[in-house]
Copies of this chain bind each other. A is one copy, B any other.
Amino acid sequence: MNPINIAVDAMGGENSPNKVIKGIEIHSKENKNIFYNIFGDCNKIETTIKKTKIPSNLYKIIHTQNYIEDTDSPLSAAKKGKDTSMWLSIQSLKDNQSDAIVSAGNTGALFVIAKLNLKMIDKIDKPALSALWPNRNGMNIVLDLGANIECSEKNLVDFSLMGSALHKSLFENEISKVALLNIGSEELKGNSVIKNTYQILNEKKNSLFEFKGYIEGNHIMDGDVNVIVTDGFTGNVALKTAEGTANFITSELKNTFNNSFLGKLSGFLNINNLKKFKKKLDPRLYNGAILLGLDKPVIKSHGSTDAIGFANSLKVCEKIIKGNLIDKIKKNII
């Protein structure tokens, strides 16, 4: 079996390339038959990689002169372009040197450079940014998370198909259940785009997913559905609001545990339970947003994640390739 080739932009995000290289080390220990094409400043990368135990036959370093910064606008990033680690790692998909790409860099730039270099899947008008979001029974796929501020019925129907193809390629034994994010569960509520999409999905026969109607924000994490479709504005606000709420509660909880001796004792006794709790909510464990609609997989790691988080975005890459995401989308788009 040929190895899976992952293109890695080593220069994007906080503490790069350190966290990227350490992420590769974690991922390569757990997963066999993966080859990493690592793009970036070869001096920095080699210094870090020497401190790890990554076997030298598992990677190639491709030196790049430049890199895109978080402060670059998408336009200035595209102009910097062809000498950067981001551009060249995406180009290696175009040249069939790599099967997927991961970057922890500038999201807007990644988006624009991917669109400039890669083709859209036939009949898809707009790409969408999707991510994993935990629920009581496992994981949701939620999209769009900010790629498209305004969406048509056609876009939302495409997102349903792409989102369930992604769900199927990550969780092959589960049934994909699609719902539209709305402000009520009754058919009457919502704007006309959402109502029209409801009608189309309700009548559409397909083998990829079950359509479950509308879902409200307070039920996203219930686990009754697992693919949640919305426009990029609403999805972005919802995801970030959930993140802010989780941060607020966990920081209040930390204060609770730290502000008395009994609190500390109690925290100590409960350490195993609390570890389990933290693990369930650890955002590193579902790091890796996927840009859907292009004919190659483009994965965005959170810029501020660490090596464990980056390793998880590599895992997402690998699963997507093994699960034949792009073929699944192509087969189902009508």
Interface residues of A (CB under 8 A from B): 134-136, 146, 149-150, 181, 183, 190-191, 216-222, 230, 232-234, 236-250, 252-253, 255-257, 259-260, 262-263, 265-267, 269-270, 272-274, 276-277, 280-281
Question: What are the nearest 7 A-B pairs in CB distance?
Answer: A217-B240, A217-B241, A218-B244, A266-B270, A218-B240, A183-B236, A256-B277
Tell whether, in the assembled complex, residue B281 and residue A249 are in contact, meaning their CB atoms are under 8 Å apart: yes
Cβ contact within 8 Å between B191 and A150: yes
Judge whether B241 and A218 touch: CB under 8 Å: yes
Determine the chain B residues whose CB is within 8 A of the CB of A134 once the complex forms: 248
Give min CB distance, A255 to chain B, whole Å. Answer: 8
- Known contacts A191-B149, A245-B242: A257-B270 contact under CB 8 Å: yes
- The reply to whether B191 and A136 contact each other, CB–CB distance below 8 Å, is no
Contacts of A221 in B (CB 8 A): 244-245, 247-248
Give the copy number.
Answer: 2
Interface CB pairs A-B, < 8 A, 7:
A217-B236, A217-B241, A221-B247, A233-B234, A241-B241, A255-B277, A257-B270
In the bound complex, what is the Cα–Cα distance between A255 and B181 (angstroms)?
A: 28
Q: How many whole Å from A130's CB to the nearest CB in chain B? A: 16
Nearest CB in chain B: distance from A325 CB, A:
26
Cβ–Cβ < 8 Å partners of A218 in chain B: 240-241, 243-244, 247
A134, closest chain B residue (CB): B248
- The binding surface of chain A is classed by DSSP as helix
CB neighbours (8 Å) of A191 from chain B are 149-150, 233
With A236-B183, A245-B245, A262-B270 known as contacts, the answer to whether A190 contacts B149 (CB < 8 A) is yes
- Cβ of A250 to closest chain B Cβ, rounded Å: 7
- Report the bound CA distance from A10 to B323 in whole Å: 57
CB distance from A266 to the nearest CB of B (A): 4
* Bound-state Cα–Cα, A220 to B242, Å: 10
Q: Give which listed residue, B232, B237, B253, contacts A238 with CB less than 8 A.
A: B237
* A149 to B, closest residue via Cβ: B191
Q: Select the residue from A217, A232, A267, A272 with max chain B CB neighbours within 10 A.
A: A217
A181 and B150 in contact, given A221-B248, A256-B274 (Cβ under 8 angstroms):
no
What residues of B have a CB within 8 angstroms of the CB of A250 in the complex? 249
Supplied contacts A216-B237, A238-B238, A252-B280, 6 more A-B pairs, CB within 8 Å = A135-B248, A191-B233, A221-B247, A222-B244, A257-B273, A266-B273
Which residues from chain B contact A255 at a C-beta distance below 8 Å? 277
CB distance from A105 to the nearest CB of B (A): 16
Q: Is the beta-carbon distance between A260 and B273 smaller than 8 angstroms? A: yes
